[in-house]
């Protein structure tokens, strides 16, 4: 009788543990989904600012502010357990609202670059928040891949000195890091995103280009390296605007 009861208790505790884990995971999943919904407007707004389309950028900033307000109402006072002990959680809401006010003000006063800087600041705040709690979403991986691409793109110069072993090693190492991060982004992406033609074109195109880097190094071919890095710059910018 006791053994039977003990088994029931164990089964009950296991079920409760499963339900609790699922609930916690759901809280974080809901948070990430809500943040992504707002971030999509942010990316579009930044894209419009880059092309000088102020009217559409203003519209997206309005949509972003509405999405951010909804996000704040849902989660500012209801912290997912994944962010327990994270000091950035309490400040990201007020800082984010201030950045959006600044972006709107800068745009209305004709300072599109300052507006874009404020919007990019919000992206940085969310990246730092998740990073402090060991959370990585696709946008964060894309941001890391962008940084790795920036480090590699510094070698896109006509007067590159191939005779230096450290130069060849640095190019190879940075290309390898960029390739690793792009593959990681492919793994992190949801199945739906992974199947998107635009996502596939950007990830596969960047990886295909990086595959030519060893040949450029072996032949000390500055022209080939320039062509590869030019394509990579385009893929990198579009990844940031679409998925970063």
Is-contact 178 204, C-beta < 8 A? Answer: no
Write down all domains in the chain, each with its CATH number in brackets: 25-132 (1.20.120), 138-243 (1.20.120)
Residues 6+ apart with CB under 8 A from 85: none
Check whether 23 has a pLDDT greater than 50: no
- Decide if pLDDT at 156 tops 50: yes
Residue 159: pLDDT band by 50, 70, 90 thresholds? confident
Per-residue model confidence as pLDDT tens digits over 95-119: 999 999 999 999 999 999 999 999 9
Q: Determine the pLDDT at residue 17.
A: 36
pLDDT average, residue stretch 191-201: 94
148: which 2 tokens?
């790795």
14-23, 60-69, 160-169, 201-210: which range is least confident on average?
14-23
């Amino acid at each position: 009788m006791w053994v039977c009861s003990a088994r029931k208790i164990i089964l009950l505790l296991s079920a409760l543990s499963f339900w609790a884990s699922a609930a916690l995971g759901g809280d974080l999943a809901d948070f990430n989904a809500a943040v992504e919904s707002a971030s999509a407007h942010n990316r579009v707004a930044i894209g419009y600012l880059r092309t000088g389309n102020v009217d559409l950028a203003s519209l997206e900033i309005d949509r972003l502010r509405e999405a951010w307000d909804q996000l704040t109402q849902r989660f500012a006072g209801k912290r997912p357990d994944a962010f327990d002990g994270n000091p950035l959680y309490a400040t990201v809401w007020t800082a984010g609202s201030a950045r959006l006010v600044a972006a709107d003000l800068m745009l209305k006063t004709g300072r599109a670059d300052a507006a874009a800087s404020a919007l990019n600041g919000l992206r940085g705040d969310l990246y730092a928040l998740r990073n402090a709690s060991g959370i990585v979403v696709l946008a964060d991986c894309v941001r890391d891949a962008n940084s790795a691409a920036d480090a590699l793109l510094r070698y896109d110069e006509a007067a590159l000195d191939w005779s230096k072993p450290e130069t060849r090693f640095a190019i190879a190492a940075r290309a390898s890091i960029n390739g690793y991060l792009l593959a990681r982004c492919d793994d992190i992406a949801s199945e739906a995103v992974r199947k998107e033609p635009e996502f596939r074109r950007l990830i596969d195109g960047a990886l295909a280009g990086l595959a030519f880097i060893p040949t450029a190094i072996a032949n000390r071919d500055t022209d080939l390296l320039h062509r590869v890095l030019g394509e990579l710059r385009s893929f990198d910018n579009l990844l940031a605007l679409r998925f970063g």
